[in-house]
Chain A
Amino acid sequence: MKRVVIAFAALLIVMLAVAACSSSTSSTPAQAPAQPAAQVTAPAAQAPAAQATAPAAAKAAEQPKAAAKGGQIVEVRFADAKTLNSLLANDTASTDSLALLGNGLVWINPKDLLPTAQLATKWDISPDGKTYTFTLRDDVKFHDGVKFTADDVKYTYELALDEKLNSPRRTDLSVIDTITVKSPTEIEFKLKNVKADFLVSNASYQILPKHILEKMTAEQINTADFNTKSPVYTGPFKFKEWVKDDHLTLEANPDYFLGKPNVDQYIFKVVKDGNVVAAQLKTGEADYGQYEAPMVAEMQKQDNVTNYAYDTFNFDFYTLNLDPARTTMFQDKKVRQALLYGLDRQAMVQSIMFGQGSVANASEPVLSWAYNPNTQPQYSYDPKKAEQLLDEAGWKKGADGIREKDGKKMSFQCWTNAGNKVRENYVTVMQEQWKQIGVDMTPKLEEWNAFLDRLTKTHDFDCFLVGFVWNVDPNQRTMFHTDSYKGGFNMAKYSNPELDKILDDALLTTDVAKRKELYFKMQQIIAEDLPVTIIDFPKQPAAVSKKVVNLVPNAANFRYEAYKWGLTPQ
């Protein structure tokens, strides 16, 4: 019996400790829970005249090449999908799969980051910006052959608003006041107030088949077989087989309204180890996959793949606690500026990210149309200036080389999540570099869940380092608005009434030019004040087999026109 108990103790310890040592088994970086990459938000749609700046998306503008009919494409990815219900999906793997299975009313054209027609052929927006009327395609069938109509759209959105459905999008969609079906091909959404990003944030969920789901309650749909065994949508690929945690096979939909896809099958294969992902891309066991920055040099030697490193909507940042109840060390913005001048971010990106990224010059993601790369100051590495600013702020070097003020040493801890190699290395380099300007920082690593509690619930930190996967829409109210300390991500407890007003105003207008101006102003204030410090904009390396044509990875919406993907004609 004793043995049994020991065996169990061991089992329990393994099961529970496993989470605490996530780095030991896989080199996959533990990232913040992924955002829906496919369901992107973009500049307000009703202003197509506005110039969207999309440098990285430019590659997607190539002319489609001729492809062979038939064959299969295998994509390798780190995680399996969790659900194929478009309203419940929240992780990248699920939303990526859904982007091939289904269609929304609109979605993002990666060439210009503007919303483009999908199930809707056109849309009209009332002058007050509150009523959207969509005209729908008349030639769309679900995978089971049943015709798609406006009723399916109404059903999908009403289901999303059902409290019993475990969808995380309900609050975002609660701006919808009424949904009216005008005819089988016309539907009208009335909003309670202007929502600048409604079309692109909320009109891109894949439409569900009413005729299959209507017999069930929302509660039953949470656990329905539809989500994992028999999903039915309107998209270019149909569900064929899903062996969980191994592969998900989709097959071409011959009745797809834009034409039958070139390939017969598209397979998502799960490989959890970064080295093995690279190995499979090398051997041709996989045709497409994203891989990790350390593999770049090795992958570039492969002549059977085309390598990409595309810009993303991600950024890494550190936050210094501005709550005087916690610490007064960082109240003076000169201190915050000094700490940033003291970091050689270019070298950090080069050595730690293997050059797969760029130094951030503003708070908006580098792909965003609201990103202003010329925001001043730029904070290039300048330790002398850093020392000077700290001196000015009254922090003088003590006998041990550590700065002090009023008998208090500039000594604090900086937390990050354990298992994320880039962040672990960042805090280590920050410690070294800050030491040179007389600042004593101790890195602290913590398991993700405990770390999140520290950031958002207990606020028990002086400094932390983390990253976000941002939306295409540049609204950053949740990071910087005074109200966002509670229920948002203003974890520094920063408060600036001038900035609050800018953030609020930018949501009340649908004019892209005006929003852009406001967000440029916002970035200016943030660069000056540094309530949080955005360090870098990571790029995502990916490889595509040379056998495959028309598949161009990008962060905005790379499943766009997936039906044109194919194999090189022999």
Chain B
Amino acid sequence: MQRYILRRVLQAIPLLIGITVLVFALVHAAPGSPLAQFEFNPNIKPEDIARIRANLGLDRPLYEQYLRWVGGMLRGDFGVSMITGRPVIERINERLGNTLILSVAALILALVVSIPVGVYSAVRRGKAFDNAATVLSTAGQAIPAFWLGLVCILIFAVEFKDWGLPAFPSGGIISTGKPFSLGDMLWHLILPSFVLALGFIAQWTRYIRSSMLEALGQDYVRTAQAKGLNDHVVIFGHALRNGLIPFVTLIGLALPLLFSGALIIEVIFSWPGIGRLAYDAATERDYTTIMGLVTITAAIVIIGNLVADIAYGILDPRIRYD
């Protein structure tokens, strides 16, 4: 097991290097540059743009820029944003917490809803509950998050206020101009985490239902039933444990989302998370911020997948690491 983990970690190093080289090449190949903010402005002269380009070191050969960036990163220095001049690591840090609050809340909500619904649908296959769950989850996958988010704001923030009901805030993490309080933050968290969770719920319910159906058809389940175990034990003790294994892969794939943020939800609900930072960095061509974000997210994804792989072994004793 330790050897397996060590090997995976060692394998991750060339992977990370490859990713940084690829991203560096891609962002520099994209049209525009951090200096685009000064372009197409009747007041700013080409001399100014050229001077600032040199000040930022963007006039140096690409390999030199890359090596300088790697050198800094190895010393734990991700550089400063080419747009705001602030340290990249500071920019990421101040967002990461916000993103985690939203995505963890959504993930928990999604798990709490999708597992029971998926299991029950499989057990009651073809019955009214299953059919209703199928229709709703298909609809849930088809509804775009930005639309649902806006509708939620319109109903629960704007109309509720008009009707004199306790209205939800239409965005933000805490009430503007008020000191922080946990209750206030949870109140702000309800709408965005629900909208973000809905997509996962819709998708995961389907997955859990079908993998449960498969598990319920397995020989060991029939054996357990034949032994006269009650349904409860068969479903939760035997079928669910095995039925969840493919689902672990799905959660593993969802892990990067925890950290990379959900851009659309963050935009609609004015939630200052990593998604918006990444979006702005990409549109502004803020090379250093993009590189910092990708490197850190890459490391997190690699770790997330390693954790998922280890989780297989815990859930399925047939899996051996060597």
Show the binding face of A for B, using Cβ within 8 Å. 1, 3-5, 7-8, 11-12, 14-16, 18-19, 22, 25-26, 32-33, 35-36, 72, 74, 82-83, 88, 90-91, 163-164, 166-172, 201, 219, 222-224, 227-228, 243-247, 249, 265, 267, 269-273, 275-276, 279-280, 282-283, 285, 447-450, 452-453, 455-456, 466, 468, 470-471, 478-479, 487, 489
Contact = CB atoms under 8 A, between A and B. Distances in A.
A172 B45 contact: yes
A309 B225 CA distance: 73
Contacts of B47: 170-171
A470 B42 contact: yes
Nearest to B255: A7
B46 to A, nearest CB: 5
Contacts, number: 220
A166 B31 contact: no
Contact of B51 (A12, A32, A163): A163
B146 A25 contact: yes
Contacts of B221: none
Contacts of A243: 94, 272
Interface stretch (B65-73, B132-140, B196-204, B273-281): B273-281
Contact of B170 (A3, A11, A280, A455): A280
B32 A25 contact: no
A91 B41 CA distance: 11
A526 to B, nearest CB: 16
Contact of A90 (B19, B30, B38): B38
Contacts of A449: 30-33, 36, 285
B161 to A, nearest CB: 5
B268 A283 contact: no
A282 B42 contact: no
Contacts of A245: 95, 272, 276-277, 280
A245 B249 CA distance: 34
10 contacts: A15-B278, A16-B30, A25-B264, A33-B36, A168-B41, A172-B44, A223-B86, A449-B31, A471-B42, A489-B40
B210 interface: no
B40 A244 contact: no
Given A171-B47, A449-B31, A275 B290 contact: no
Contacts of B297: 11
Given A7-B256, A276-B150, 9 more contacts: A12-B19, A25-B263, A32-B41, A74-B177, A166-B52, A244-B94, A244-B95, A273-B267, A453-B31
A3 B246 CA distance: 13
A4 B301 contact: yes
Interface string B51-85: 11001100000000000000000000000100111
Given A25-B279, A270-B270, A456-B39, A7 B305 contact: yes
Given A4-B15, A11-B294, A170 B48 contact: yes
A172 B43 contact: yes
A33 B44 CA distance: 12
A15 B38 contact: no
A83 B83 CA distance: 9
Interface stretch (B111-119, B151-159, B237-245): B151-159
A118 B169 CA distance: 40
B55 A33 contact: no
Interface stretch (B21-29, B123-131, B211-219): B21-29
B223 interface: no
Contact of A91 (B37, B158, B176, B256): B37
A478 B51 CA distance: 20
Interface in B247-279: 249, 252-253, 256, 260, 263-264, 267-270, 272, 276-279
A3 B249 contact: yes
A450 B31 contact: yes
Contact of A171 (B32, B40, B48, B283): B48
Contact of A168 (B48, B252, B270): B48
SS class, residues of chain A in contact with chain B: mixed
Given A25-B267, A168-B52, A16 B27 contact: yes
Nearest to B269: A276
B213 to A, nearest CB: 24
Contacts of B51: 163, 170
Nearest to B161: A283
B37 A18 contact: no
Contact of B31 (A8, A33, A447): A447
A456 B263 CA distance: 32
B282 A272 contact: no
A478 B87 CA distance: 36
B277 A3 contact: no
B141 interface: no
B171 A280 contact: yes
A353 B114 CA distance: 45
B254 to A, nearest CB: 10
Given A25-B146, A32-B40, A166-B56, A276 B94 contact: no
A222 B183 CA distance: 39
A569 B210 CA distance: 64
Given A222-B55, A244-B272, A270-B272, A16 B26 contact: yes
A279 B85 contact: no
SS class, residues of chain B in contact with chain A: helix
Interface string B176-207: 11000000000000000000000000000000
Contacts of B45: 171-172, 487
A283 B264 CA distance: 22
B302 interface: yes
A201 B44 CA distance: 12
Nearest to A479: B42
A247 B171 CA distance: 12
Contacts of B253: 3, 7
A1 B11 contact: yes
Nearest to A30: B283
B109 interface: no
B267 A247 contact: no
A157 to B, nearest CB: 16
Interface in B88-102: 91, 94-95
A282 B158 contact: yes
Contacts of A249: 177
Contact of B294 (A15, A273, A466): A15
Interface in B284-306: 285, 290, 293-294, 297-298, 301-302, 305
A416 B132 CA distance: 46
Given A7-B256, A223-B86, A279 B270 contact: no
B104 interface: no
Contacts of B267: 25-26, 272-273
A446 B256 CA distance: 30
Contacts of B280: 245
B279 A244 contact: no
A19 B283 contact: yes
Contact of A74 (B22, B176, B260, B277): B176
A269 B172 contact: yes
B39 A452 contact: yes
A247 B40 CA distance: 28
B169 A285 contact: yes
A246 B32 contact: no
Contacts of B176: 74, 247, 267, 269, 285
A407 to B, nearest CB: 35
Given A8-B301, A25-B146, A171-B48, A83 B170 contact: no
A19 B282 contact: yes
Given A11-B297, A12-B23, A270-B270, A283 B158 contact: yes
Nearest to B36: A449
A447 to B, nearest CB: 7
Nearest to A172: B43
Given A3-B249, A166-B52, A452-B40, A272 B276 contact: yes
- By CB atoms of chain A within 10 A, which of B173, B270, B280, B297 has the most? B270
B22 A12 contact: yes
B26 A12 contact: yes
